[in-house]
């Protein structure tokens, strides 16, 4: 018997696998856009990828989206 109480547990809001899948999507979308000559669009996909890699989440508001995209 132990006098230590049981720890609380709650599920994560977004699983690590989903998060990595999202980052990977932006990474490969950027590469594909560059291959087809869409450098401007590829730049914005790269901005989102970097934001997610730094621990950010996908933004919800116009202001946050603009900040992530650098516009």
Nearest in space to 24 (alpha carbons), one of 51, 49, 59:
49
Confirm whether 38 is domain-assigned: yes
Confirm whether 15 is domain-assigned: no
Confirm whether 36 is domain-assigned: yes
Q: How many domains does the chain have?
A: 1
Confirm whether 8 is domain-assigned: no
Confirm whether 6 is domain-assigned: no
Confirm whether 35 is domain-assigned: yes
Confirm whether 1 is domain-assigned: no
pLDDT band at 3 (very low <50, low <70, confident <90, very high): confident
Per-residue pLDDT at 12:
58
Per-residue pLDDT at 4:
77
What's the pTM value of the predicted model, to 2 decimals?
Answer: 0.71
SS3 10: coil
Structural domain of 62: 23-69
């Amino acid at each position: 018997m132990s006098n230590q109480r049981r720890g609380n547990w709650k599920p994560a809001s977004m699983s690590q696998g989903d998060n990595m899948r999202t980052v990977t999507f932006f990474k490969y979308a950027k590469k594909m856009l560059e291959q087809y000559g869409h450098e401007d669009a590829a730049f914005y996909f790269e901005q989102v990828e970097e934001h997610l890699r730094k621990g950010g989440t996908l933004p919800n508001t116009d202001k946050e989206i603009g900040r992530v995209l650098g516009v």
